[in-house]
Amino acid sequence: MNAVSNPFVEQIKEGLMRIGYSEEAIDEDYDFIGQAGVQRANLVAFGDIYRHDISTSCIAVYWCANGDNRNAILEQVRFLAPPLAFITTPEKVEIWPVSKEISDTPHEELDYDHVNEYFSKNRLSLMPNTLLAAK
């Protein structure tokens, strides 16, 4: 796969690979069917290298430029069914739980300087087998 063109999304991809997601388990510009038709996540990490669908989606990553509607992103990502969504903005990374009810606030917000530390500290809870068990 080619490198992600967005450096913020690329930083999340690198973190995912450091904690155990292989290149084959990560799809860039992943299309899926949502409530409003075909939707696209900038990056999706799956718990299986062969099967990339809602049963194996673990983390979806979105680029959200200033002014984009996070609720619309979170509404659509529910159809992909990952336990977590990382929304990257020019200033920070927001980590959102994905569930039937959309949360009012992210689970966590990180400056880009703290992304590597976050992946290191949360390695076990972010690993594919852990997130698949949580589905």
CATH of the domain at 97: 3.90.1570
- The pLDDT tens digits of the residues spanning 53-95 come to 999 999 999 999 876 788 999 999 999 999 999 999 999 999 9
What's the rounded Cα separation, in Å, for the pair 69 and 66? 9
Record the pTM.
0.92
Which residues span the domain enclosing 105?
7-134
In a domain, 19, yes or no: yes
Q: How many domains does the chain have?
A: 1
In a domain, 85, yes or no: yes
Question: Which run of H or of E encompasses 116?
Answer: helix 115-121
Closest CA to 41 of 63, 12, 19, 65: 63
- The pLDDT tens digits of the residues spanning 24-55 come to 999 999 999 988 899 999 999 999 999 999 99
In a domain, 28, yes or no: yes
What's the rounded Cα separation, in Å, for the pair 77 and 87? 11
Dihedral sign for Cα 32, 135, 100, 4, please: negative
The terminus-to-terminus CA distance of the chain in angstroms comes to 27
In a domain, 2, yes or no: no
